């Protein structure tokens, strides 16, 4: 693991002297290495960041990872071996947001512990509505699903892509749709 202070001290000087040509060369080198190793091409920020280091920095469980493009706000806890995909939003600003072990939170998923609907339509006179969110162990949340405030998702749950999760889902269920239908 990289020592943060050593890294900052080293790169303070290096970054000041880094020019555009060198950045482009670094990008080409990293892009080629990632393509050869994993057969994928990523945005530059994902080439130069470490998903597991970010997860560790955020206090997530051992073996979990989260993409650099993901936004994490407020009180968010994530268990072990959980994958948080790119372009996700984990917003624990209105309450606790807990995600269990061995989960896959797909690209573009948004999880909220508050909403500002009543605040907005009242011209700011009403308060935000809030509620804790929990996602159990061994869950799969499909791409671009939205999980609303106050929702509890049990263990071994599958949520379909583009779903709006606005109610609790018991363990072992599949759910999909707008709004969610539990099967």
**pTM as predicted:** 0.86
* Alpha-carbon span 60 to 66, nearest angstrom: 9
Mean pLDDT of 40-61: 94
* Alpha-carbon span 89 to 148, nearest angstrom: 12
Q: What is the pLDDT of residues 77-114, one digit of tens each?
A: 999 999 999 999 999 999 999 999 999 999 999 999 99
Q: Is the pLDDT of residue 149 over 80?
A: yes
* Alpha-carbon span 85 to 69, nearest angstrom: 9
* Domains defined for the chain, CATH in brackets: 1-48 (no CATH), 51-182 (2.160.10.10)
17: which 2 tokens? 């002297």
Q: Which of 10-19, 33-42, 139-148 is predicted with the least confidence, judged by mean pLDDT?
A: 10-19
Q: Is the pLDDT of residue 67 over 60?
A: yes
Beta strands 140-141 and 158-159, pairing class: parallel
22: which 2 tokens? 């060198």
Largest pairwise CA distance in the chain:
58
Q: Is 145 exposed, middle or buried (0-12, 13-18, 19+ CB in 10 A)?
A: buried
Mean pLDDT of 11-38: 80
Mean pLDDT of 39-43: 92
Please count the residues of the chain. Answer: 183
Contact assessment for residue 138 and residue 159, using Cβ atoms and an 8 Å cutoff: no
Contact assessment for residue 133 and residue 109, using Cβ atoms and an 8 Å cutoff: no
pLDDT computed for residue 18 by the predictor? 66
Confidence of residue 16 (pLDDT cuts 50, 70, 90): low
Mean pLDDT of 121-135: 96
HSE (CB half, 13 Å, CA atoms) of 8? 3
């Amino acid at each position: 693991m990289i020592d943060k202070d050593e890294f900052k001290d080293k790169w303070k000087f290096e970054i000041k002297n880094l020019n555009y040509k060198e950045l482009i060369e670094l990008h080409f080198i990293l892009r080629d290495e990632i393509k050869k190793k994993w057969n994928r091409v990523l945005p530059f920020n994902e080439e130069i960041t470490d998903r597991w280091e970010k997860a560790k920095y955020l206090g997530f469980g051992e073996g979990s990872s989260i993409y650099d493009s993901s936004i994490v706000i407020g009180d968010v806890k994530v268990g072990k071996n959980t994958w948080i995909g790119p372009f996700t939003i984990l917003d624990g600003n209105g309450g606790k947001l807990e995600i269990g072990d061995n989960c896959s939170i797909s690209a573009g998923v948004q999880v909220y512990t508050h909403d500002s609907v009543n605040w907005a339509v009242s011209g700011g006179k009403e308060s935000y509505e809030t509620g804790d969110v929990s996602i159990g162990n061994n869950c799969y949340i499909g791409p671009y699903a939205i999980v609303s405030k106050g929702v509890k998702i049990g263990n071994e749950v599958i949520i379909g892509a583009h779903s709006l999760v606005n109610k609790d889902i018991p363990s072992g269920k599949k759910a999909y749709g707008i709004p969610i239908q539990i099967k």
